Amino acid sequence: MDQPHTTTPASAAPRRGRWPWRAPRAAAAPVAATERYGFGYLAAESVYLDSACQTLRPEPVVDALDAYYLDYNACGGRVKYAWGRQVDEKVEATRDAVLATLGLPKRSYATSFTLNTTYGLNLLLQQLPAGRYRRVITTHTEHNSVFLATMAFARREGVERLLLERDDAGALVYRDEDLTDALVVVSAMNNVDGAPTLGLPELVAAVRRRGGTTVVDAAQAMAHALPLVRGLRADAVCFSAHKVYGASLGVVAASHELLGSLEVSFLGGGMVANVTESGFTLLPELHTRLEAGLQPWAEIIALGAALAWLGGVEAATGEAHEARERRLAAWLHDGLAELPRMRLLGERGSSLLSIIPERVDGHRLAGFLSKAEIMVRSGYFCTHHWLQEREGYDPLVRFSLGAHTTQDDVDRTLDVVGKLLRGL
């Protein structure tokens, strides 16, 4: 006789962090917990060296996404029932965690969420007060997110766009008078060789004295060089959660003064307190100036989990993640520097290193590495003006480390790259 059909009670079903709908992963070689803390799901043979594009997500981040969708999948900022209140509490906690991580006071800064860094930069620049700035200033070595947004701003406003050079130490070269009533948009750390922008606090202070505004692209610095931007009182700091171990999300930490000055033209629900036939009243909460429509609640909550996890790495492993990255990056740099038939870009200890291979196309080399399960980026890394137009380089290959990277990953990479380059 057929057995009666039964349903497993919800309380007994595997939930957060167990991903019961996934096929079991094939057994992999054991990895010490301190080596891949938070990345126990990652197969030992997978070498992912593209953290500059997006970091892998540690298990607590995946658990936070899982919990939202399974346990309290509701709208934030709109409802009065318990699920919605839980969303609001966690979203507010993430806003506070961003400011705390950046060392910015809540009394004068607010956290807004967008699609990514590029989207956040464009939202800001396209809604700044018309006629407010004499010129826009950036550098030759910027990511396209900054480079193109400043180009569009200069064209729309009909103002000069000034591209700064760097001295031999990497500091920006500028005249104080150029900063008068200027919009300055620069990165804290570039995404080709990981070079920091030196003297950022001095630049921010000089721009403020001259009546200008500073917007900092911290997309790379947040995960790999936080001291560059922590406590930096720029008018706005933009970064991407997916480059700092969170889900795909953009973040803007901006001063109340800057947010309040925006001529808001990108409008929607979640921004307004009242709407009439021909007008509207904006909400008093300044973070809403950049948050039209329904927000990615799960991704925002996951960022809070990412920042909490990142803050606990040293206590759990005995080594700060930045120190660990520097140690492994130095080993990678030294190994690559010994190899023939390529040029190395990047300082010893930088979490980002790029090479220019001499006898093989960069894309082809990345393809060869992929066959050995080593994942690297090839091309111009969204810095076409700098690498392609200005330097005239052929496609490069970039190695970028993350909190999941192990000594075995670096050793395998050096072994495979060495065999490939020596065989050319």
The 10s digit of each residue's pLDDT in 207-254 is 999 999 999 999 999 999 999 999 999 999 999 999 999 999 999 999
Edge-to-edge strand ranges of the sheet holding 352-357: 342-345, 352-357, 396-400, 377-379
pLDDT at 17 > cutoff 70: no
Rounded mean pLDDT of 373-395? Answer: 97
The 10s digit of each residue's pLDDT in 285-314 is 999 999 999 999 999 999 999 999 999 999
Domains of the chain: 47-57+319-423 (3.90.1150.10), 62-313 (3.40.640.10)
> What is the pLDDT confidence band of residue 32, given thresholds at 50, 70 and 90?
low
Mapped onto helix, strand or coil, the DSSP state of residue 157 is: helix
- Give yes or no for a contact between 394 and 341, defined as CB atoms under 8 angstroms apart: no
The 10s digit of each residue's pLDDT in 112-167 is 999 999 999 999 999 999 999 999 999 999 999 999 999 999 999 999 999 999 98
The 10s digit of each residue's pLDDT in 48-86 is 999 999 999 999 999 999 999 999 999 999 899 999 999
DSSP assigned state of 388? I
- Give yes or no for a contact between 259 and 110, defined as CB atoms under 8 angstroms apart: yes
DSSP assigned state of 26? P
In angstroms, the CA 114 to CA 290 distance is 7
> What is the pLDDT confidence band of residue 423, given thresholds at 50, 70 and 90?
confident
pLDDT of residue 168: 82
> What is the pLDDT confidence band of residue 424, given thresholds at 50, 70 and 90?
confident
Q: Are strands 135-139 and 272-275 parallel, antiparallel or unpaired?
A: unpaired
- Assign residue 334 a region: left if phi > 0, alpha if psi is -120 to 50, beta otherwise? alpha
Exposure class string for 27-62: b at 16+ Cβ within 10 A, else e: eeeebeeebbbbbebbebeebbbbbbebbbbbbbbb
Give the predicted TM-score (pTM) of the model: 0.92
